Structure 1
């Protein structure tokens, strides 16, 4: 098969022929019809993830067709249209037994713990636990964005953030995760303040229903959020992942507000200096959010199916596999608004 491979961190990869994957007893091989280009892939390419071993094939947001099935798989057949959370759970550890597959202690992650979906085919483990059916009316491009950014935002806003109608929600960083969070919070009846330095990202946030937009290059983000919401956000998300955005997210909360950290904070960048005296004095909640289990997809999928949520509107561009090396490298300096989808199929099918 053809895949994008990199052999050194931070140096351009190349698309070349590599051996086809084979399914494990409980796993499947999926023919990748669409895969998202995510900032997490860029972090892995830069060497920020200890699970990656070189040479490596990135990619963790995917949708496609089951091509081969392991002997122990009960619920899936070749030809099934599927997607998968970026956290593939084992299904048998204590966390999985409690239904918390997104923090499985033996999790695997395509594109991190093993070769990923910037390829024509990808192997996935524990298929009966992790695969999610993609309905015929949902395009592969749309489904690919669900496994990381949209599902992550959905759980961060709805489950971890406990959003309620009429609340103020601040979203710091309006890339794929942030714009997903804006859309989901608005659909839940919340009022949203979107924070980003890119005019195009703020324009999309406004189109998706944000009540206010803030450019932190022009104004103090935390102060602006407090002023616009008359006291601070009830819920705030750092969807980018930097010490500056994390601190601004906490600083923009009202008393007893809730901060959800979604964006990764690599150790190489240093820890975020959160205003812990305010966390204590105002009884703020600091929460993490890490993807979403496959069994938790049905409510989100129903909202997508009904048209209440439109993840298809987040797809801003599509590129062939040959364009993946340059696009991945550009994520560090010019990630662009929305979601870029890679189509590995040589015929550009979708």
Structure 2
């Protein structure tokens, strides 16, 4: 089969590789659409030791099984017998794997092998391109669920999201779907900000007019963490999703003195993934049209476009 292979820092090669082999309990999925994630970009730039070259990246996949089912893929593979999995927190399973990290190759390919239990069938009115948005949406759905639950009962369910990439957009849409009010988002790229207003109906602002109970950092750099600490109100909650960098930005003194809750969130539980898919299928997350498509063979150019900030859409989907 053909695949887009990460072969070294800032190097991707579209080439022939061996077909994947489905192990016991696994299914082969012919990939139709696969999104480019920020973690793929981190690997491409050589910033992710968890994804060493050579490796097939990509974990936001949707496609068709050998028996004709249209599916989206939960790429997080866990041990169902672990204590975390048995408690419904599969994302904390100590032996968790994710496609696009060794030992599992990713979905920037014509086929990928995944456990049958990780597949969610999609209804006829959902396209496979839309279905490829399920994974980033599930990341944000999981985070928003935790964040809203952590608010004080007297707090208004009002939130601000930092970052207009796919995770930030999905967070804003998830907040609305879960009943939050006054949801705003900040995005420094003016063209991207305009796109989000026009296409997604998101209220994009430079910063909220006043502090808010819930702030979501969907970027994860020192500067955005500092902004989150500045914007959250006393007793409020900061949700940290982004993995831009590891150090700096947290105002620990303010977090302590004003009893601000900081929650780090990673991926999703199996139930969160299914719930996010259900919200997509029921139309509660909007038109799901905030993507552009490219051929998988042109994947290197797509990465360059994302890196330069030239694309306005939050997500580029590659088509094998």
Give the TM-score, by structure 2 length: 0.91
For 1:168, the equivalent position in structure 2 comes to: 158
Q: 1:183 aligns with which of 148, 173, 177?
A: 173
> Using a 3 Å threshold, how does the CA distance of structure 1 residues 302 and 7 change in structure 2: closer, same or farther?
closer
- Alpha-carbon distance in structure 1 between the residues aligned to 2:239 and 2:75: 19
> Using a 3 Å threshold, how does the CA distance of structure 1 residues 109 and 153 change in structure 2: closer, same or farther?
same
> Using a 3 Å threshold, how does the CA distance of structure 1 residues 26 and 306 change in structure 2: closer, same or farther?
closer
For 2:143, the equivalent position in structure 1 comes to: 156
- Alpha-carbon distance in structure 2 between the residues aligned to 1:205 and 1:146: 18
For 1:242, the equivalent position in structure 2 comes to: 221
Q: How does 1:80-159 map to 2 (within 5 A)?
A: 80-113=69-102, 114-124=104-114, 126-128=115-117, 130-147=118-135, 149-159=136-146
For 2:269, the equivalent position in structure 1 comes to: 293
Q: 1:326 aligns with which of 301, 306, 316?
A: 301
Question: Secondary structure, in 3 states, of the residue corresponding to 1:13?
Answer: strand
Q: Are the equivalent residues in 2 in contact too, given 1:240–1:262 (CA < 8 A)?
A: yes
For 1:264, the equivalent position in structure 2 comes to: 243
For 1:347, the equivalent position in structure 2 comes to: none
- Alpha-carbon distance in structure 1 between the residues aligned to 2:146 and 2:71: 24
Q: Are the equivalent residues in 1 in contact too, given 2:212–2:233 (CA < 8 A)?
A: yes
Q: Are the equivalent residues in 2 in contact too, given 1:170–1:194 (CA < 8 A)?
A: yes
> Using a 3 Å threshold, how does the CA distance of structure 1 residues 63 and 2 change in structure 2: closer, same or farther?
same
For 1:71, the equivalent position in structure 2 comes to: none
List runs of 5+ in structure 1 lacking aligned partners.
Answer: 68-77, 215-223, 345-350
Q: 2:193 aligns with which of 173, 177, 202?
A: 202
Q: Are the equivalent residues in 2 in contact too, given 1:192–1:212 (CA < 8 A)?
A: no
The more displaced of 251-260 and 177-186 is: 177-186
- Alpha-carbon distance in structure 1 between the residues aligned to 2:293 and 2:57: 17
Q: Is residue 66 from structure 1 mapped to residue 65 from structure 2 by the alignment?
A: yes
- Alpha-carbon distance in structure 1 between the residues aligned to 2:287 and 2:137: 7
Give the TM-score, by structure 1 length: 0.83
Q: How does 1:4-43 map to 2 (within 5 A)?
A: 4-10=4-10, 12-43=11-42
Q: Are the equivalent residues in 2 in contact too, given 1:152–1:290 (CA < 8 A)?
A: yes
C-alpha offsets along residues 60-81 of structure 1, whole Å, 9 cap, x if unaligned?
10001123xxxxxxxxxx3222
- Alpha-carbon distance in structure 2 between the residues aligned to 1:48 and 1:154: 26
For 1:193, the equivalent position in structure 2 comes to: 184
The more displaced of 25-34 and 288-297 is: 288-297
RMSD of Structure 2 on Structure 1 (CA): 2.0
> Using a 3 Å threshold, how does the CA distance of structure 1 residues 335 and 132 change in structure 2: closer, same or farther?
farther
For 1:307, the equivalent position in structure 2 comes to: 283
Q: Are the equivalent residues in 2 in contact too, given 1:156–1:262 (CA < 8 A)?
A: yes
List runs of 5+ in structure 2 lacking aligned partners.
Answer: none
